[in-house]
Structure 1
Amino acid sequence: MFEPIILQEYLNKLLLLVLEAEEADLKATLWSIPETTEKLCLFTNDSQVKALYITKSKKDTNDGSYNYTISHTITYHLNDIALISITKHNDKLDPYYLIQSQIQFLNLPGPAISEYVSTSMNSHEEAIYSCIHYSVAPYFDAYVANNDYNEINKNMMIIKFKNIEIPLIYLNIHPIIQKAIEKAKGRRATIEYIDLALLGDIAFLNKLQSDVKSWIKEIKKVIQLSRDPSNGMTIQEINFWLNKETALEKIKNQINSDQIVLTLNILGHAQHFHATTSFANIGLKEAKEQVHKYNVLMKDFPIEELLSAPDVTKIKEALCAIFAHYNKKMRITQYPIKKTLALVEAISHGLNDILIKVLGDFCLMYMEYKDFEKVMSDVEDVFKTWDVIIREFTNVARDVMHKHSDKFVQIKIDPVHDKLQERIEFIRNFRKQHEQLYQTIVNTMIKIKDAIKIEDDVVQQQESITINKIDFLEEINVAYKSVKDINVLDISVNDTEIWMKAEFTYNECVSRYNALFVKPKIRSAIQKYQNELIDKVKNDISKLYNKFSQQYYKSGANYMAQLRDLPTISGFMIWAHQIEIQLHIYMKRIEDVLGKD
């Protein structure tokens, strides 16, 4: 445990220099308040307290003295002259390292600074601008200039998702034990360095025994820590086990320190075997072995490549790298199969999030159709890659389970990104149909104009008036605007309802063109395109018929149903229903071309 008095002494020297504080003012205000010690203790030893703020403010007495206050939050007062922000590099301060290497501070002006110092700074905005523009920004620019940007982005993503869930344990040492260690001057301290009278002192021995019990309690908190990989991100699970191994190693180093060894030797000499035996059987060795076996999988896990992928191609490469590592390490790690399945679903969650992030930068509904289709093709490759590597992973997982004779676990993955995949496929099909409609009308307008030119003057005039009344392309564009500004990647219930309403508006607007297709003059003009559309639908129906003729048992759907452990009859019914739905879609396309009649 880091003693707050050490931090107090350091801050006292710092404030004298940075805030030009007077020793008397600090003693009369800051150090005389009991809450100050409590706040210092929380800052040094509580991982939840990240910062300290010390404020210098003017008094109403105008006697030349100042108030100094300390807090874990910043408050704004007109009497504030200056503020020092103090942050720590780690969750807790380590008593074995210099304090100046573990904290950093920032000096900020208060609103009352202009009354005491000659300055042109007139506002907090100027102070903030100066701090960021002349300190933080140049520091960041210099760092970026000497490092790879993608590597920086990856590290930033790690920090974003990093959860420090393992508390750092510092075992309290009795002052007499500490003095004995210092007296030994680097040699191994033995009970000879302890006063003989103390070796028989019941109060002293009971205090040591109480310390050992508190050590056991604190160490067991770390040993018994675990987590469910289905809660949170993949990188949080990875960091948890890596951090736990580090924490256990630090505990082991403390246990092997002279202070702990001497304490246990004294208790053993006094025949307090209950405390020493309990401490020896705490289970640290077994915990370290278990975590080490888990970390065969966690070490060098390339999840950062997925979280920081800048484009769809990199996402695909990251998935391949992740499961190449996974399938290799899974054969030699002791990480449980049940946790492994949850971790794969967490990877799917990460895939879902990074796809939304990357695709969100494209503005999918605004893209030129050619560029849109290129992106969609790349995304389709990502989903196909996922299906392939999951099949391979499933086979490896089953082999590992049989090899280790583990209790049977159903190998079933429920990908989080399934709904996003369905939405992307739907949007791709929607834009494809819209583009076909748009291009059909563009090409048909040319044919219509050519057909009108060969009519007599009266018919030509009537048809021209009819055609000119409708700006076909403008109406199609207006219809498309109803869906253009919707976040199509948001699959929440609320945004799905918004999309459905917009799609209904779009369909209402474009449905009128079905009637145009059956008018004699227009129909003759679009006959060529009509035949092409019908031929395409016929080919699609033919492919669907061949798929149905091959029977369910020879289909890829049967294989996927087995992977997901679906009953055969259920898989068959789902397969048949999907074919029926697809057939209805093709029939609807014919209806759109020929009309309901």
Structure 2
Amino acid sequence: MEKKITELEMGLLHLQQNIEIPEVNLAIHSIVSQVAQKCLAENRRAKVDDFSEYLDNTEFLNSLQSHVNRWVREIQRVTKLHEDAMKGSTRQEISFWLNLERALTRIQEKCESVEVQLTFDILKTAKRFHATVGFYNDTGLKSAMDTVKDHSVLMKDFPINDLLSANELDKIRTALTTIFQHLKKLRSTRYPVSRAGRLMEAVSQDLMQQMLKVLNTYRLMHIGYADFERIVKACDDVFATWDDEYERLSTQVRDVRRTVRTSDVRMAWRVSLSHKKLQQRLDHMKRFRKQHEQLRSVIDRVLLQPVPASLQTQTSINDEQDKDNNQTSANGQPNETRVTVTAANVLNDVNAIDEVNMAYESVKEIDALDVSKEGQDAWELAMKR
């Protein structure tokens, strides 16, 4: 049941994050459409000879040329999309390239339709070469398709769902390994280094969100210290996996892109990784809980020590003196009460453990895993108390 719910959530998220590609409509001149339909009814393909009466009609030819110019502008709305900087999540980047490939394929099919080819043939016959020869160059269709096919090698079967559906820290670590194995395909594509850097930032964001989703089920500041250590150790394993795989991938990217100056590659690959904030917060939590546990252990150990013999003797003497003090003097006035010396006096403060626990309680009240600006401020304030 839990798996099905997760799959449903991912499906809904996929729909929300799906980047829309404009639909291209190549409007056909009414005369071309009518003649093509008439020939189709006659079970034959229309040809330029079927438009012989229009080949010297300047108004008709100008109208055809205007149609082609509109097609160019319409197609450019799609072919120039790949030049935009990467935006959004890993899923959005994957969806963008796969949807763009499908959109460009549909445009190619429309360009190869009978009506569009007829339009080109008519203009060629009428010696309107400019409208036809520059069409594919002006639209950028071939170049865009080459780019998209190249990048789709990386985007197809990108295993981001393994990470987004992982509900345990070990599964998250395994998913990371799978993702970095897939990212080795960067070496065989022309996917821009700068865009690869943005992609790594998106994967890092997904990693942090998925880890938070898992960690929030544990209530790390409330569970026992042994369980806390075990969970944080699993988190450290995840972070170590990222660091190792990321370093290897960075080296491979730099080696492959030797045609680009090394400094440029390094600058483009310099990224801001969201999960580092979570890693830092967990380090702070680990340090805080360790110090708290050590302090509690010291206090417990001291409080549980047996009272020294000398202190016991002194306590007995004090008891005898207390008896004398409780007797009234000859004039009927009680003697001054003597302060009793006990083990608690020697230890100075038997409530030390309570004070330590109270300090810890103040930290438990905040959301320790909130790594936003507000969460950071709340954590720092709690540490100062």
Q: Whole-Å Cα distance in 1 between the matches of residues 66 and 318 of structure 2?
A: 107
1:8-23 equivalence runs, <5 A: none
1:174-198 Cα distance to aligned partner (Å, 9 max, x none): 233222232213642223444x444
| 2:358 is the alignment partner of 1:462 | no
1:10-53 Cα distance to aligned partner (Å, 9 max, x none): xxxxxxxxxxxxxxxxxxxxxxxxxxxxxxxxxxxxxxxxxxxx
| 2:157 is the alignment partner of 1:300 | yes
2:254/2:265 contact within 8 Å kept: no
Equivalent of 1:477, from 344, 357, 369?
357
Cross-structure match for 2:33: 178
2:314/2:341 contact within 8 Å kept: no
1:482/1:503 contact within 8 Å kept: no
AA aligned opposite 1:393: L
Q: Secondary structure at the match of 2:305?
A: helix
Aligned length in residues: 355
Cross-structure match for 2:377: 497
| 2:261 is the alignment partner of 1:381 | no
Q: Whole-Å Cα distance in 2 between the matches of residues 417 and 280 of structure 1?
A: 44
Equivalent of 2:368, from 466, 488, 495?
488
Change (3 A) 1:469 1:274: closer
1:382-417 Cα distance to aligned partner (Å, 9 max, x none): 111111112211221132123xx3343343543332
1:198-597 equivalence runs, <5 A: 198-225=54-81, 226-229=83-86, 231-282=87-138, 283-327=140-184, 329-402=185-258, 405-408=259-262, 409-411=264-266, 412-414=269-271, 415-447=273-305, 456-457=315-316, 462-463=341-342, 466=345, 470-505=350-385
Identify unmatched segments of 5+ residues in structure 1: 1-143, 506-597
1:100-249 equivalence runs, <5 A: 148-164=4-20, 166-183=21-38, 184-185=40-41, 187-194=44-51, 196-225=52-81, 226-229=83-86, 231-249=87-105
Segment drifting more, 297-306 vs 212-221: 297-306
Q: Whole-Å Cα distance in 1 between the matches of residues 317 and 352 of structure 2?
A: 23
Identify unmatched segments of 5+ residues in structure 2: 320-339
Q: Which of the two has greater strand per residue?
A: 1
Give the Å deviation of 1:484: 0.7
1:345/1:413 contact within 8 Å kept: no
Q: Whole-Å Cα distance in 1 between the matches of residues 296 and 169 of structure 2?
A: 28
Q: Secondary structure at the match of 1:486?
A: coil
AA aligned opposite 2:174: E
1:315/1:382 contact within 8 Å kept: yes
Change (3 A) 1:257 1:453: farther
Identity across the alignment (%): 37
Give the Å deviation of 1:454: 6.8
Change (3 A) 1:457 1:157: farther
AA aligned opposite 1:381: D
1:54-133 equivalence runs, <5 A: none
Change (3 A) 1:307 1:453: farther
Q: Whole-Å Cα distance in 2 between the matches of residues 428 and 444 of structure 1?
A: 24
Q: Whole-Å Cα distance in 2 between the matches of residues 270 and 476 of structure 1?
A: 93
Q: Secondary structure at the match of 1:462?
A: coil
AA aligned opposite 1:268: K
Q: Secondary structure at the match of 2:191?
A: coil
AA aligned opposite 1:406: V
The two structures have a TM-score, normalised by structure 2, of 0.82
Q: Secondary structure at the match of 2:255?
A: helix
1:320/1:389 contact within 8 Å kept: yes
2:303/2:350 contact within 8 Å kept: no
Cross-structure match for 2:328: none
Q: Whole-Å Cα distance in 2 between the matches of residues 273 and 458 of structure 1?
A: 120
Give the Å deviation of 1:427: 0.8
Q: Whole-Å Cα distance in 1 between the matches of residues 13 and 313 of structure 2?
A: 67
RMSD: 2.8
